[in-house]
Structure 1
Amino acid sequence: MLISETKSLLTSMLDLAGVRPGEIPADAVRTTLEVFQRFASVPVDDSVSPEEDGDGVLAQSGTFDLDGVHQFCADLTRQFIDSADRDVIWQLRCTLQWIPSAETEALGSSVLWSFGMPLEDFFAAALGLPGWAWALAGVRAPRRLTIELEQV
């Protein structure tokens, strides 16, 4: 697979699991995480290797102003460094968004990168982040799920 094909692959994997970008039910959050976990292990041919920190995963959560809207987000991002030009970095973001509340504001924000650890250890740690633990508890359905691939 190539970096340019990652969005299509993730979208297809989610679709096969019954999850589509847009509004999703609360129980689809766990499915989204499980699909992303499988997706994160698919090799990317034109990326610098994970051992050289050229292919890694970021789990983050918090309340942010995105696209001019104040919202709580739980995000999984796979970052690639282009092997043909190491100055080119791509990120494929899988973002779940909720209308913020006092409860989500109290969760604060958290960030965890997979660099230097096996993916299974990373995802186990990501599940323990306060925002991701809240998202997976199914308290409320997300407002929407977005999938975006961009050069950063």
Structure 2
Amino acid sequence: MLISETEALLTSMLDLAGVHPGRGSAADVRRTVEVFRRFATVPADDAVSPQEDGDGILAQTGTFDFDGVREFCADLTRQLIEADNQGSIWQLRCTLHWTPSAETEVLGSRVLWSFGMPLDDFFVKALSLPGWAWALAGVQAPRHLTIELDRV
């Protein structure tokens, strides 16, 4: 897979699992994580290797005010650095969005990178972050799911 193909591949994998960007159900949270976990193991042929920190996963949660809309988000992002001389950094974000509540406010914000650890260990730690644990508990269905590939 090439970096330019990551968004289409992840979207296709999610579609096969019955998860569609723009919609959200409580069951979609776990399915999204399972798909992203498999997606994270697909090599990016034009990226610097994971051993050289050119391919890593970021897990983050928190209540944010992006684009003037305050919302609680649980996000998995794959960061890829192009192996060419330019070394451009790309991020493919897979973000679940909820209306914030008193319950989500107390979860705070957390960030965890996969660099320097096996992916299995990373996902165990990431999914035990308070925000991800809340999201996976299925207490509330997300408002929607977004998938975005950007050069940063």
TM-score range, shorter chain: over 0.9
Match of 1:105 in 2: 105
Match of 1:58 in 2: 58
Match of 1:95 in 2: 95
Letter in 2 for 1:136: L
Aligned-pair RMSD on alpha carbons? 0.7
Distance, in Å, in 1 between the alignment partners of 2:12 and 2:85 is 28
Distance, in Å, in 1 between the alignment partners of 2:85 and 2:92 is 18
For residues 60-118 of structure 1, give each alpha carbon's deviation from its aligned partner in whole angstroms, at most 9, with x where no partner exists. 00000112100000000000011013541000000000000011000000000000000
Q: What SS class does the counterpart of residue 27 from structure 1 fall into?
A: helix
Distance, in Å, in 2 between the alignment partners of 1:19 and 1:10 is 11
Matches within 5 A, 1:19-98: 19-98=19-98
Quote the sequence identity (%). Answer: 74
Match of 1:133 in 2: 133
Q: What residue ranges of structure 2 are gaps of 5+ in the alignment?
A: none
Q: TM-score, normalised by structure 1?
A: 0.98
Q: Between 129-138 and 65-74, report the one with greater CA deviation.
A: 65-74
Q: What SS class does the counterpart of residue 60 from structure 2 fall into?
A: strand
Q: TM-score, normalised by structure 2?
A: 0.98
- Paired residues in the alignment total 152
- Moved runs in structure 1, 4+ residues, more than 6 A? none
